[in-house]
Structure 1
Amino acid sequence: MRQAENRVRELEVKEQRARQRARAEQSWKIQPRRSGETAMLHRGGCGLYSAQLGFINRQEAIIALDEPDIEARQICNPQTGLVDG
């Protein structure tokens, strides 16, 4: 009985992590500007920057890319999913 309960908890945790990863991949995050650096837009799932304030949605990411002081992080290619065509 205890093994079954533990297995159910493990599966629930695994499912929750998968949902969080899926949400992150459908989101974006902004790495704030630091002295001498440009602010960077990342894919939500990019491990190069851990968002302190959470994710932004597609529309907010499009607006961010239009800002002159925010650049797209080329490694995680945050433009994917933003530009139609």
Structure 2
Amino acid sequence: MSESGGISDLDKNRALADWLEWQLRRTRNRIRELEIKERQEQRAHERAQAEQSWKIQPRHYRGTATLHHGDCALSPQFGFISHEEAIIALNEPDIEACRTCHPEKGLRVA
């Protein structure tokens, strides 16, 4: 304590430091929460995009190319195509539908 009976500058600064450290911990925890939420939202967006898209796996050796639903575990990890492009692909003689995910379901093939 100071001679006048109040709180000393040292005690005030210690209290301020404690409060600032508490605020910093709280802010860092909030940042972690927001980062987790952002990653979850990104994964949900990617899943939604995959569920509404298709992919073409390039032609196998002496085989045909394969059309997959966008969320098929056997599909390549790149290159979504649209609903219209998937319909066109299924009408191509050298592209077959995946026998695992059955991407032709829900597509109106001409």
TM-score by length of 2: 0.70
Report deviation, 1:49: 2.2
Q: Structure 1, unaligned stretches of length 5 or more?
A: none
Q: Count residues with an aligned counterpart.
A: 83
Q: Structure 2, unaligned stretches of length 5 or more?
A: 1-26
C-alpha RMSD of the superposition: 1.4
Which structure has the bigger radius of gyration? 2
Identify the residue that residue 78 of structure 1 maps to in structure 2. Answer: 103
> Aligned to 1:4, which of 30, 33, 36?
30
CA contact (8 A) 2:56 2:76 kept: no
Alignment map for 1:1-85 (pairs within 5 Å)? 1-52=27-78, 54-83=79-108
Of the two structures, which has the highest relative contact order with CA contacts closer than 8 Å and spacing of 6 or more?
1
Partners of 1:62 and 1:23 lie apart in 2 by 17
Q: Larger % of helix: which?
A: 2
TM-score by length of 1: 0.90
